[in-house]
Amino acid sequence: MDDHAEIERELLRGNVPLLILATLRDGPMHGYAIAKEINRRTGNSLRFKQGSLYPVLTTLENNGHLAGDWTFTGNGRPRKEYSLTPLGRIHLAERLSIWEKFCAAVQFVIQPSH
């Protein structure tokens, strides 16, 4: 089971930016909402620590792919909402294209040869 989790984590590590960018395509969200949406879309099948989103969010924001805006919750707590920038949309399209090519290539290798 631990090996299984470790393999999943390894596969997930490089793809967190893609998951975040794709989730934010539907509109601005804060960190918790992004994690929840990823879990919802995947039916909780991706096991990841929710804290692992934040370094990626900061990097994407620093690279200009996301814009973060501070707001307040109903309880008065500060909250940061992220949205895709035009540059982020371009980056998402690039990542999606690379991902699709990569998946197709891996599929060619792993499917039984005839």
Partner 1 sequence: MGEYQPSAIAERAIGEYADRVIHQWVGRLSYSERQAILDEVRDHLFELMAEAVESGVSEDEALATTLTEFGDPVDFAQGYLEGRGVKYPDTKVKRFLTSSFVRAYLYFIVPGIVCVNLFQAMALDRRLDWILPATVALTILGPLVAGFITGWSIEDRFLRCVRQAVFLTTFVSLVSGLLLWPKIEGLVLAATMIGLWLPLGCLAAAGGAYLRQTYAWKLRKERSQRRVEEEAAETRPDRHFVSAIREAL
Shortest distance in whole angstroms from residue 63 CB to partner 1 = 12
- Of 44 and 113, nearer to partner 1 (C-beta) is 44
User: For residue 46, what are the contacts with CB-CB under 8 A and spacing of at least 6?
Assistant: 8, 12, 19, 38, 39
Name, in order, each residue with C-beta under 8 angstroms of 26's C-beta and a sequence gap of 6 or more: 37
Q: Which residues contribute to the site for partner 1 (CB under 8 A)?
A: 30-32, 35-36, 49-52, 54-56, 58-59, 67, 69-70, 73-75, 77-80, 85-87
- In whole angstroms, how close is the CB of 22 to partner 1 at the nearest point? 19
